[in-house]
Amino acid sequence: DGGITQSPKYLFRKEGQNVTLSCEQNLNHDAMYWYRQDPGQGLRLIYYSQIVNDFQKGDIAEGYSVSREKKESFPLTVTSAQKNPTAFYLCASSTPRLGNTEAFFGQGTRLTVV
């Protein structure tokens, strides 16, 4: 089945370590996104990519980095510069069609930094 897969579902890291979250899609979508969600809050955009080898900062990009070497993959690295990395991270993908740009989301990765 087509879809968007995030792994792992739960991730624990020690403070000061970089960690990379995986996001893969087989929907042939051009655009991919990373969001962060804190308890009881809405989603905030970290980075997004419209095409391979191109990406833009969202509203809260500081302390994060991404790459888009393949259309199917958009990994997010949470660096040690991110002051409060513990959160729920969501990846999404979409492709523009006239009148509809529905986005599909993965099931998320819950990152806990201790």
Partner 1 sequence: DAKTTQPPSMDCAEGRAANLPCNHSTISGNEYVYWYRQIHSQGPQYIIHGLKNNETNEMASLIITEDRKSSTLTLPHATLRDTAVYYCIVRPRMDSSYKLIFGSGTRLLVRP
Strands 10-13 and 109-113: parallel
Separation CA 96–CA 103 (nearest Å): 9
Q: Which of 46, 66, 92, 113 binds partner 1 (CB under 8 A)?
A: 92
Per-residue contact string for residues 7-36; x = within reach of partner 1 by CB under 8 A:
-----------------------xx-x-x-
| Backbone CA torsion sign across 22, 27, 28, 31 | negative
Contact 36, 110 (CB under 8 A): no
Minimum gap (Å) between residue 51 Cβ and partner 1: 10
Q: Choose the binding region for partner 1 from 12-20, 37-45, 63-71, 72-80 (rule: CB under 8 A).
A: 37-45
- For residues 18 and 59, give the distance between their C-alpha atoms in angstroms, rounded to a whole number: 21
Q: How far is the CB of 16 from partner 1 (least distance, A)?
A: 27
Q: How far apart are CA 76 and CA 92, in angstroms?
A: 12
In the complex, what is the shortest distance from the CB of residue 84 to partner 1, in angstroms, rounded to a whole number?
19
Q: Which residue has the tokens 């997004």?
A: 48
* Residues making contact with partner 1 (CB under 8 A): 30-31, 33, 35, 41-45, 48, 50, 56, 58, 88, 90, 92, 94, 96, 98-108, 110
